[in-house]
Chains A and B, each alone.
Chain A
């Protein structure tokens, strides 16, 4: 018997917190058809869990001024998408993930961009130079799949 089983508890004591720290289960891919049809032509469908309900409300109530575009929608469609996003937001139905994504946001905070959340900033500025987002293949912080190759499967853990 060559394996030092006696070391196992020690190894686990070190490995477990490291492995579990900040891991989250994959986000459920968005399958809401109305959202996909209205939004996916221009950008990846951003997981609703990554912003609070108030953010989604702000975005959906101002679609005619959507990051420089008029993304206006017919009333019934707009309402359906708004209800979906509000229901899956990081502080509502998406709480299992939102606990982490919304860390550092105050109760009234409603950032328009995921990249404006304290969590995103911490994850993307400690190891990356700002120029990373200006590279031609990336172009914008809104282009998650440029680096997060499994974003479509809801996996953003790349390390």
Chain B
């Protein structure tokens, strides 16, 4: 009986690892830790700041990609397209629950796309803000 109980609890614990909400939370917490290091006055992420960053036109990046919405749509609740017109699944988490669950993937694309749009890496604050925005769409 104890064996069955242990097995059941292990399986239950195991399902937590596959929960996208938990995976996303871990990613957001990681950025929060970094944001606190970047600026001690960090008071939490803001979906409003994230929206502003995502939808504004930026001057520092490449002329082809002045804003995140160039490829990800405005608002990003519908499929976007790459410069070669390959479809991109929506960034809005409500439309695409798998978004922002794989840290390596998130870092890869923030790395490339912040460079393209802003002309520089995004700060942890900016990454967290953008995720907060995508989470409430």
- With A and B bound together, what is the CA distance between A137 and B116 in angstroms? 23
* B69-90 with Cβ < 8 A to chain A: 81-86, 88
Whether the Cβ atoms of B84 and A140 lie closer than 8 Å is yes
Whether the Cβ atoms of B62 and A42 lie closer than 8 Å is no
Whether the Cβ atoms of B84 and A68 lie closer than 8 Å is no
Tell yes or no: A70 within 8 A of B by CB.
yes
Q: Which residues of B contact A (CB under 8 A)?
A: 62, 64, 81-86, 88, 112, 115-116
* A116-144 with Cβ < 8 A to chain B: 137-140, 142-143
Chain B minimum-CB-distance residue to A40: B86
Task: Determine which residue in A44, A68, A71, A138 has the highest number of CB atoms from chain B within 10 A of its CB, and name it.
Answer: A68
Whether the Cβ atoms of A44 and B84 lie closer than 8 Å is yes
Given contacts A68-B62, A68-B64, contact A139 B85 (CB under 8 A): yes
Q: Which residues of A contact B (CB under 8 A)?
A: 40-44, 67-71, 137-140, 142-143, 146
- With A and B bound together, what is the CA distance between A44 and B81 in angstroms? 12
- With A and B bound together, what is the CA distance between A71 and B82 in angstroms? 14
Which one of B62, B83, B112, B115 contacts A140 once the chains associate, using CB atoms below 8 Å? B83
What B residues does A146 contact at CB under 8 A?
85
Can you name 24 A-B residue pairings with CB atoms under 8 Å?
Answer: A40-B86, A41-B86, A41-B88, A42-B82, A42-B83, A42-B86, A68-B62, A68-B64, A68-B116, A69-B112, A69-B116, A70-B112, A70-B115, A71-B112, A137-B85, A138-B85, A139-B81, A139-B83, A139-B84, A139-B85, A142-B84, A143-B84, A143-B86, A146-B85
- With A and B bound together, what is the CA distance between A146 and B64 in angstroms? 21
What A residues does B115 contact at CB under 8 A?
70
- With A and B bound together, what is the CA distance between A137 and B82 in angstroms? 12
Whether the Cβ atoms of B84 and A41 lie closer than 8 Å is no
Chain B minimum-CB-distance residue to A137: B85
3 pairs of A and B residues whose beta carbons are closest in the complex: A43-B84, A139-B85, A142-B84
What A residues does B86 contact at CB under 8 A?
40-44, 143
What A residues does B81 contact at CB under 8 A?
139
What A residues does B62 contact at CB under 8 A?
68
Extra contacts, 20 of them, besides A42-B82, A44-B86 (Cβ < 8 A), are A40-B86, A41-B86, A42-B83, A42-B86, A43-B82, A43-B84, A43-B86, A44-B84, A68-B62, A68-B83, A70-B115, A139-B81, A139-B83, A139-B84, A140-B83, A140-B84, A142-B84, A142-B85, A143-B85, A143-B86
What A residues does B83 contact at CB under 8 A?
42, 67-68, 139-140
What B residues does A138 contact at CB under 8 A?
85
